Each structure stands twice: as C-alpha cells, then as structure tokens.
C-alpha cells in the first residue's frame, strides 16, 4: 500500500512504521492490515517520539474511491456485455454446431466452471495482495477466452444449411423437389439423409464447440476477481454513507452492459454467418428461418477488445486508497481508544493476521468454518442459490422463448431484450440504491424491502401463464394433412397421399407455406413438382399470438423493474451481516456457491427440460440428432415458466426463516451491548441499525471524535 504522508517538513518518518500507524488506523477494514491493537501502539509511538499531531496529518487525496469506481464500472460493463452476448447467441450456436439445448446449457455453464476452479483462492488470497492488479490480470484472461470462443468460425469452414432446393447458375427454377420413386436410385434403399455427406468423417473427429466451451471457461477464470475484490475494495475505502450508492452504481453498470450485449447480439444475428465469404444472392433463407445462423463470431471479437481495454486502468491504481480528510479527522486517541476497549468490537481486532502464504493457507479452513457458522449468512446463501437457479435459467432461455413461443426472429428477440427488459432492470437496481440512501434503511429494513419486491414481482409473473400461443400449423407435426389438430412425433406421420409418389427424405427441414395455410416440412413433402425461388417458409397463422405479445413485453418490463428494486438492498444485507475481515471471503464464497449450484446446473437442466418439448429435430451431416426445428409451444410455456416460478416459490420459505433469524441476531447483539455497560455508542448504534435511524448520511461535517458507523455494523 502506497500513500504520501505529509507532516512537519523537518521530520522523516520510517516508511514501515508510518504505514502501520497511519494507513492501517485511518483506512477502513483492510484484510492485509496488521492488528489494530498493534496499530494503536504504533500510533502512540508516533505521537510521543515524533511529536506529531494527528490532526495535522494529511493523506494525499489525488486518488479517490471514485477513480476506482469508474475503472470497476468499466470492467463490470465489459464482463456483463460479453456474458449477455453469450446468452444472445445460444440459438445461433445451436444451429451452427447442430447441438441440442442441454449441450448449450453445458457450454453456458462452463463459465461458472471456470469461476469454480479459482474463486475460493482468489477471494481469500487476493484480498491480501494487490487487488487492482489481480483484477487487471483477470480482465486480460477474460479477453483471451472471448477471442478463443470466436476461433471455430475461422477453422470450421462455411455453413451449409438443410435445403431441398439447389440453385443452377443464377436460377433455381425447373428443379424438381419431388423425385419420382421409379427414377430414384434410393427407391429400395435408405433415404438420402442416412448416407453420410462428404467431409463427414473429418468433421466427426473434432467437435468445434469444444473451443467455445474452453473459451467460456477462460472467461469464467478471468472474471473471478472482479466482483469479490472490486466490491470489497470499494466498501473498504468509501465513506459509509456512499458505500451503498457506489455499489448500486456498479450493479447498475453491470446491468447496462447487457443492454449493449443484447443489442450487439441483435445486430450480429441479422448478419449472415459467412458474410464476406459467400455470395449472399445464393442464400435462400432469411433471419426468420429456423436454419438461419447469424455472424455470432463477430460479436465475440468486439467484446474481447472491450474487455482487453478494461484491464488497462487497474495497472495504475494503488493497492489501497487513503480515506478523505473528513473521515480521517475523526480519528483521535480518544476515538481510537473506544475501538480498542469496546467488548462489542473485540472480535474484529484479533491477533495478527498471517503475513505469508503458508500461514494464510492454514488459516483458510477455520476462517471458512467461522463464516458458514453465521446463520444469517448461511440462510442468505441458500436463498440466493435457489433464486439464482430460477434467474439464470430464465435469462438464458428467454430470447429462445420469445423466438419459439411468439414467432419472433433471433435478432428481434435480442433487440427487445436489450432495449426493453434490461433497462428496466438497470433502473430498478439504481432506484433500489437510492431508496437505501434516502430512507437510511437498516439491515432489517433492507431485508424486508428486498423480500417485499420479490413477492410482488412473483405474483405478477403468474399472469405469464395466461399469455399463451397456439402451435404453428405444420402438416404431419401439429396438424394432419387435412388440417385437423393433433401432435405427431413419428416420422411416418409426415407422409400422405400428396407426397406418396415422391422419394422424400423425412429428415430435411425446408419449410414452405401452402395455399391452404398449412406449413409443410419441405417442398417434397408438400408434393411440389417444381420450385421457383425460396418459397414463403412457415405460414403466419398465429394472429392471436401477435396481439398478446405486446402485453407480454409490458408485463415483463414491470416485473423486471419491481424484482430488481430489491437487488441492491439485498446485496447490502450480504455485506453487512458478516465481520469486516471476512468480507472478501464471504463475497467470494457466495459467488462460488451460487455459480457452482446455480450457474452450472441451471442452464443444463432447463435446456434438458426444454428439449423434451421438441416436436421435430434436425439431423447432422454425419447422422444423429441435431438442433430442434419446432417446439410444442404449450408444453414449452408450462415447462419454462413452471420451473422458473416453482424455484422462486421454494425460496420464499427460506426468506421468512432468514428474516426471523436476522431479527434475533440483532436483538442478541443489542443485549450483549447493554450487558457490557451499554448505554454508549455501541448500543446506540445497534439500536439505530435495528430501527433504521442511522444518521451517517448527514451532509454536515461531524465534530465528534469518533464515528462508530463503520465499526459497529453487523
């Protein structure tokens, strides 16, 4: 930790002694600092030996918490942009690599696997090292992983989509999509789909999605130090009345990042995957087609560059920041003696913390045991694990839900997520931080507020079940060839008298809209004898669905705003329910647990359940099942919404238990303060904490010798 300390010009203080006596005493709780008790001894030595008046000491304020706040906000923006862009490309990756939804869930969860590998060590050891530089290294690793995700595009070759139409020169006319059985060499053998295509053997040796998987793991490893070290750094060095507001700003920026991430996803989804490498006049599909693949790789290159730039500011930030003069002036020998002698605060200033890696490693398990022994923290952890399962699964597949259920294209679904949903979340989180600051919510008030907003959003979300759409009318899948309703999963149902004379491959997906309003899986199955152009694709016969879609968007915005209102207050409950010296470890372990038990499994089992609603699967070039082409929208809605809201229902039971335990915990601390002579500052502070009557945000300078605000928070 480097800081400039100005005293009398004729005095030269030893750097190490000055560091302990001034920075450790006058900065907020710092994991790498020496014992506060030793610090008081050094403080007295400075006063007696060097005749220094503490009130004349000034810490250079050329670097303030706001500068770190800007750098951290940019890093949050970069990581959230690339993370949201990953979620905006799930349908593109499904189609490009011909993989089902559950495998996309594995790829999406690989980010959390990367976090899992290093987060405990980064949170514990990183708090004792140079936090800004560790964050910078993390951003660099994140950018490398993002570039690696885009690599398969440049080595996999051109994208070849399923089609029964083959162009001849500049014309696609006079080509028969319905080869007669008598003319087909395959009339007595297997269908054309069962014969491996050229290049199949080479492609089957290496699944290119592995590069995306590994790149996302690197992204997870790089992102690890940003949250626990960044948030704890701000809370350590910001004034108490500003800490919640600063953290609210960072959380808001982390939600603004996805706005640009989804908008970038929308732009890239509209651009053909091989743009610049193929003649676009030969591409017969449009962005609304189930086989369309956008330029998914382009967004990863852009996101990688932004993440790389976000690492730069952290290399120039110090290990620790000095407190402002206003906060520094409050520390006098009388004030510091209160800290040293307070029985309530004795647990915060125990024996010297380990100073080398071996001692820190030995102290890890006892420290973790102490952290998990906090009942408030443990219940909070369980609640967020369940709610994160619901949130991550819902967010991951929401663009896909909009595409499949409401018939929107991928670029429109991503655009709507970026300009409608995400801004509502950002506004809600920012408003939550302002509410905490304005009304001076105590830890109990913050917990109640977070639970209330979550419950209100939950009840409003139940109305999503009423906003359903009927299935598209696809002959042989959702309706019969004569138009009667029904669901058919057997390939035999695709054949009828109209295509009896054709040798039609049942695995092809090249939909066309017939004059009767039915969609046929391919021109061959529609009985077409000739083809001109690319056809009308699927029929737009779901007018009622288009009418209900705006109401779905409006309700989605309202619920997103209400639920996110409790985001910042809920996060402050996590920070304030633990001892200050355990702050970095608590944040890191919270991230570890939620990502291990929610971030990894949620996309996988959500995807697996969604796969069960598929009615027609695509087929890979080398055989085997590919990506789903059409879903049962009713079953999709029930599975997606039911799983999302079911998990949130379970979490509310633990929330009520958590409030009861938190209230008892505060009462116990209050009784302990009163039993130790407690009509002083400690008891008053705890009473203020319980009732929310905190005066720390008073804009007028304080004149008391010591402000116990930061020291006596639970």
Is the pLDDT at 216 greater than 90? The verdict is yes
Q: How far apart are the first and last CA of the chain?
A: 27
In this prediction, residue 702 carries a pLDDT of: 38
Is the pLDDT at 3 greater than 50? The verdict is no
Which comes out higher in pLDDT, residue 35 or 290? 290
Is the pLDDT at 168 greater than 80? The verdict is no
pLDDT digits (tens, 9 = 90+) for 632-661: 888 999 999 999 999 999 999 999 999 999
617-639 in b/e form (b: 16+ CB < 10 A) is: bbbbbeeeebbbbbbbbebbbeb
How far is Cα of residue 427 from the mean position of the Cα atoms in its chain?
17
Residues near 372 by beta carbon (within 8 Å), at least 6 away in sequence: 378
Which comes out higher in pLDDT, residue 665 or 693? 665
| Confidence label for 41 from pLDDT (cuts 50, 70 and 90) | very low
Is the pLDDT at 710 greater than 80? The verdict is no
DSSP class of residue 702 equals P
Give the number of residues written for the chain.
714
507 contacts 195 by C-beta, under 8 angstroms: no
Fold of 65-180+205-321+363-470+542-664: Growth Hormone; Chain: A; (1.20.1250)
| Confidence label for 127 from pLDDT (cuts 50, 70 and 90) | low
Mean pLDDT along residues 599-622: 87
pLDDT digits (tens, 9 = 90+) for 366-389: 888 888 888 889 999 999 999 999
| Confidence label for 484 from pLDDT (cuts 50, 70 and 90) | low
Q: What is the mean pLDDT of the chain?
A: 73
pTM for the predicted model, two decimal places: 0.72
In the chain, what are the domain boundaries? 65-180+205-321+363-470+542-664, 471-541
| Confidence label for 164 from pLDDT (cuts 50, 70 and 90) | low
DSSP class of residue 89 equals T
pLDDT digits (tens, 9 = 90+) for 509-535: 778 887 777 888 878 877 776 665 555
Virtual CA dihedral for 437, 443, 447, 452, nearest 10 degrees?
A: -50
In this prediction, residue 212 carries a pLDDT of: 92
Residue reference for tokens 């010296």: 581
Phi, psi of 5 (to 5 degrees): -120, 125
Instruction: Centre a 10 Å sphere on the Cβ of residue 286 and count the other Cβ atoms it contains.
Output: 13
């Amino acid at each position: 930790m480097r800081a400039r300390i100005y005293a009398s010009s004729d005095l030269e203080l030893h750097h190490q002694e000055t560091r302990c006596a001034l920075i450790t005493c006058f900065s907020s709780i710092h994991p790498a600092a020496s014992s506060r008790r030793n610090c008081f001894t050094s403080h007295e030595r400075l006063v007696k030996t060097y005749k220094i008046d503490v009130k004349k000491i000034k810490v250079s304020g050329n670097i303030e918490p706001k500068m770190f706040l800007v750098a951290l906000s940019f890093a949050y923006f970069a990581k959230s942009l690339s993370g949201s862009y990953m979620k905006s490309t799930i349908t593109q990756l499904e189609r490009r690599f011909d993989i089902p939804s559950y495998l996309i869930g594995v790829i999406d969860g690989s980010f959390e696997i990367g976090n899992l590998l290093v987060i405990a060590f980064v949170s514990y050891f990183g708090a004792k090292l140079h936090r800004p530089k560790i964050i910078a290294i993390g951003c660099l690793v994140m950018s490398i992983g993002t570039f690696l995700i885009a690599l398969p595009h440049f080595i996999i070759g051109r994208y070849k989509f399923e089609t029964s139409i083959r162009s001849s020169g500049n014309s696609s006319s006079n080509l028969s999509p319905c080869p007669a059985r008598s003319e087909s060499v395959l009339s007595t053998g297997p269908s054309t789909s069962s014969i491996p295509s050229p290049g199949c053997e080479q492609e089957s040796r290496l699944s290119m999605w592995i590069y995306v998987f590994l790149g996302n793991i690197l992204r997870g490893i790089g992102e690890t130090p940003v949250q626990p070290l960044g948030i704890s750094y701000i809370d350590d060095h910001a004034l108490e009345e500003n800490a919640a507001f600063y953290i609210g700003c960072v959380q808001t920026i982390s939600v603004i990042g996805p706005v640009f991430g989804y908008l970038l996803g929308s732009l890239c989804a509209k651009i053909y995957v091989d743009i610049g490498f193929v003649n676009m006049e030969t591409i017969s599909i449009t962005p609304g087609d189930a086989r369309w693949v956008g330029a998914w790789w382009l967004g990863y290159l852009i996101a990688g560059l932004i993440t790389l730039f976000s690492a730069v500011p952290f290399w120039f930030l110090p290990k620790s920041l000095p407190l402002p003069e206003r906060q520094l002036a409050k520390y006098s020998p009388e004030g510091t003696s209160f800290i040293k002698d307070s029985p309530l605060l004795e647990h915060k200033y125990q024996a010297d913390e380990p100073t080398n890696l071996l001692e820190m490693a030995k102290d890890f398990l006892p420290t973790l045991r102490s952290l998990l022994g906090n009942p408030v923290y443990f219940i909070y952890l369980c609640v967020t694990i369940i709610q994160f399962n619901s949130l991550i699964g819902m967010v991951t597949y929401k663009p896909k839900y909009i595409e499949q259920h409401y018939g929107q294209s991928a670029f429109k679904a991503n655009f709507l997520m970026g300009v409608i949903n995400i801004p509502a979340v950002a506004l809600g989180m920012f408003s939550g931080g302002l509410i905490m600051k304005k009304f001076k919510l105590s830890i109990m008030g913050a917990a109640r507020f977070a639970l209330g907003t979550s419950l209100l959003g939950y009840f409003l979300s139940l109305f999503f079940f009423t906003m359903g759409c009927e299935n598209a009318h696809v002959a042989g899948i959702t309706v019969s060839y004569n138009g009667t309703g029904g669901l058919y999963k057997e390939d035999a149902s695709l054949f009828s008298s109209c295509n009896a004379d054709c040798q039609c491959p049942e695995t092809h997906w090249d939909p066309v809209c017939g004059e009767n309003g039915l969609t046929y899986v391919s021109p061959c199955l529609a009985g077409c004898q000739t083809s001109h152009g690319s056809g009308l694709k699927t029929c737009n016969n779901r007018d009622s669905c288009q009418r209900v879609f705006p109401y779905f968007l409006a309700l989605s915005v309202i619920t997103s705003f209400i639920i996110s209102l409790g985001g910042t207050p809920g996060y402050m409950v996590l920070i304030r329910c633990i001892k200050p010296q355990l702050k970095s470890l608590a944040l890191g372990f919270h991230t570890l647990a939620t990502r291990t038990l929610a971030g990894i499994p949620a996309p996988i089992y959500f995807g697996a359940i969604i796969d069960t609603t598929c009615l027609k699967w695509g087929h890979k070039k080398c055989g085997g099942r590919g990506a789903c082409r059409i879903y049962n929208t009713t079953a999709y809605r029930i599975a997606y919404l039911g799983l999302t809201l079911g998990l949130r229902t379970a979490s509310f039971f633990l929330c009520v238990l958590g409030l009861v335990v938190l209230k008892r915990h505060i009462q116990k601390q209050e009784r302990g303060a009163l039993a130790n002579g407690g009509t002083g500052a400690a008891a008053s502070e705890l009473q203020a904490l319980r009732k929310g009557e905190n005066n720390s945000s008073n804009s007028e300078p304080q004149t008391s010798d010591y402000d116990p605000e930061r020291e006596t928070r639970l």
